[in-house]
Amino acid sequence: MEQRTYNQYCATARTLDLVGERWTLLLIRELLTGPKRFGDLQASLRGLGTGLLAARLKQLEREGLAHKITLPPPARTPAYALTEAGEELGPAVLELARWGLKWAMGERRDGETFHPGWAVLGLRACFAPEAAAGLRATYEFRVGDEVFHARVEDGTIDTLHGPAQRPDAVVTIGEEAFLDLTGQRLTLAEAIDGGTATTSGDEKALRRLKDLFRLPPPRSRVAPG
């Protein structure tokens, strides 16, 4: 498959030559939260055929943005991980997510897939560092069948798939309620009152949770008439 180019000696154009093809940035989004097996990527990116997925991964390898690794025991299976250059696309992807939360999300459309695990990166995009000053806590989120966690360390955050070893606080919430939460149609307190979410663990860490993540108010892209 021949790679298309804008044929412009410009940093923006050169970057889009590398990551502007359909699905490429979403592959990078998936790999920003850690190495993934081919099957993991297929499961997360429904609609991306096997052949095109293989082609996009080969392109990322060829361009030095991703490479093959072997997962540590007990898995010991082949996977893909970002290189240093690929990891440095993280801030750009997070800025796209922040822009999308404000200007592009709106209501869920018919046929759109949703994986709670995408919130692993979304938590970083919504994180308010100033609200986490002096806080050291690990939060575990159980959304439907998916589990992920966030480690907050004095104004910084790291988010990962899977359970935390020693979570200070745990939030359990149904997938539909979580969708309403991210769509700003519901607060965590309302979900708890309605029985669609529960929390456990350190009360102080839980009290600070509501201030750690801030979703921007949605805006319309239509210019006022």
Residue 79: the pLDDT is 97
- Domain hosting 65: range is 11-88
Find out whether 62 and 108 touch, Cβ atoms under 8 Å.
no
Domain containing residue 31: CATH number: 1.10.10.10
Q: Domain for residue 77, yes or no?
A: yes
Cα torsion angle, 157, 163, 165, 168, sign: positive
**Single-letter residue type at 81:** A
Same domain, 152 and 191: yes
Same domain, 83 and 121: no
The residue among 45, 120, 33, 34 whose CA lies nearest residue 69 is 34
Q: Domain for residue 52, yes or no?
A: yes
Q: Domain for residue 76, yes or no?
A: yes
Looking at the predicted structure, is the pLDDT value of residue 59 above 80?
yes
Q: Domain for residue 111, yes or no?
A: no
Q: Domain for residue 65, yes or no?
A: yes
Round to whole Å and give the CA distance between 206 and 114.
26
Boundary of a domain, candidates 70, 88, 106? 88
Same domain, 59 and 142: no
Same domain, 121 and 201: yes
Please write the tens of the pLDDT for every residue from 148-202. 999 999 999 999 999 999 999 999 999 999 999 988 889 999 999 999 999 999 9
Same domain, 207 and 120: yes
Find out whether 65 and 86 touch, Cβ atoms under 8 Å.
yes
**DSSP code of 190?**
H
Q: Domain for residue 220, yes or no?
A: no
Q: Domain for residue 109, yes or no?
A: no
Please write the tens of the pLDDT for every residue from 66-81. 999 999 888 889 999 9
Better pLDDT: 36 or 106: 36
Q: SS3 of 169, please?
A: strand
Farthest-apart Cα atoms in the chain, separation: 60
Residue 223: the pLDDT is 82
Same domain, 36 and 123: no
What DSSP string runs through 78-141? Answer: EEEEE-HHHHTTHHHHHHHHHHHHHHT--SPPTT----GGGHHHHHHHHB-GGGGTT-EEEEEE
Find out whether 205 and 137 touch, Cβ atoms under 8 Å.
yes
Same domain, 199 and 134: yes
pTM for this model (two decimals)? 0.90
DSSP collapsed to 3 states, 4-69: CCCCCCCHHHHHHHHHCCCCHHHHHHHHCCCCECHHHHHHHCCCCCHHHHHHHHHHHHHCCCEEEE
Same domain, 77 and 141: no
Please write the tens of the pLDDT for every residue from 78-111. 999 999 999 999 999 999 999 999 999 888 889 9
Looking at the predicted structure, is the pLDDT value of residue 1 above 70?
no
Cα torsion angle, 190, 195, 196, 202, sign: positive
Same domain, 122 and 72: no
Domain containing residue 181: CATH number: 3.30.1050.10
**Chain mean position to CA 74:** 25
For the ranges 10-24, 51-65, 104-118, 204-218, the lowest mean pLDDT is seen at 104-118
Same domain, 141 and 180: yes
Q: From residue 111, how far is each of 47, 98, 126 by CA, in Å?
A: 11, 23, 26
Same domain, 35 and 78: yes
Q: Domain for residue 101, yes or no?
A: no
Q: Name, in order, each residue with C-beta under 8 angstroms of 174's C-beta and a sequence gap of 6 or more.
A: 143, 144, 196, 197
Same domain, 73 and 25: yes
Boundary of a domain, candidates 45, 73, 88? 88
Count of domains for the chain: 2
